[in-house]
Amino acid sequence: MYLNQFVELLEKCECKGIYIDERTPNLMQLLFADAMANISDTVGQLQKQIDVLNTFCKDYGMKVNTSKTKVLVFKRGGKLKSYESWSYQGEKLEVVNEYKYRGLCFTSSLSWYKSINSLCLSANKALFIVWKFIHKYNLDQAKSLYLFDHMVVPILTYGAEIWGYQLYKTIETVQNKFCKKL
């Protein structure tokens, strides 16, 4: 409820996000439950969004936990410029090199290695449990594949819409491990 009103206020204040395509010409936020990630392609526009958030929170008697509020700047390397800083109610916000959002690790260079490695680690743990189950109940190949497809593959492919096929070889190592044991 509150998030919808905040989005309306951002639009009313003419805040700008990033251009994706004709269908999404002004993406300002990623929203999920009570989590929000604001997006902009300029320092000033992100600060404007933060200022609108401050106004919104004052109007609705809400508070922002600034210790959990981070800024991630996507760039090709190098240090931040002196003007690349953001604040909330006068308190400088921490700029980080990586941030975990909805289970995926976003890095300043948009590298997905950390996310993929984390997914593979989780998938290997799930695979271990699947193998214990397969051996305990002496399951045939069809049932074993069913378990793999429903318990391991969703972990391996989580966020694939974002990281795409770039690191498929890393993902395939888990699948190959399963196939060799099968």
| Domain residue limits at 136 | 113-181
Note the pLDDT tens digit of each residue in 58-98. 999 999 999 999 999 999 888 999 999 999 999 999 999 99
Asked whether 108 and 98 are in contact (CB, 8 A), the reply is yes
**Pair (13, 91) in one structural domain:** yes
Torsion of CA 19, 39, 154, 177, to 10 degrees: 90
Total structural domains within the chain: 2
Per DSSP, the three-state class of 154 is helix
Q: What pLDDT does 141 receive?
A: 96
**Pair (85, 8) in one structural domain:** yes
Domain boundary (107, 142, 162) is at 107
Asked whether 72 and 66 are in contact (CB, 8 A), the reply is no
Note the pLDDT tens digit of each residue in 109-150. 999 999 999 999 999 999 999 999 999 999 999 999 999 999
Cα atoms in the 13 Å half-sphere on the side-chain side of 91: 12
**Pair (98, 135) in one structural domain:** no
Nearest to 31 by CA among 61, 59, 10: 10
Per DSSP, the three-state class of 96 is strand
Cα Rg, the chain, nearest whole Å: 21
**Distant-in-sequence, close-in-space partners of 160: CB < 8 Å, separation ≥ 6:** none
Per DSSP, the three-state class of 4 is helix
DSSP conformational letter for 78 = S
Per DSSP, the three-state class of 10 is helix
**Pair (9, 55) in one structural domain:** yes
**Pair (12, 84) in one structural domain:** yes
Domain boundary (59, 78, 107) is at 107
Note the pLDDT tens digit of each residue in 158-182. 999 988 877 889 999 999 999 999 8
Q: Which amino acid belongs to residue 99?
A: Y
**Pair (75, 155) in one structural domain:** no
**Whole-model pTM?**
0.82
Distance between CA atoms of residues 170 and 167, nearest Å: 6
**Paired tokens of 168:** 């498929």
**Pair (91, 18) in one structural domain:** yes
Q: How many CB atoms neighbour CB 48 within 10 A?
A: 18
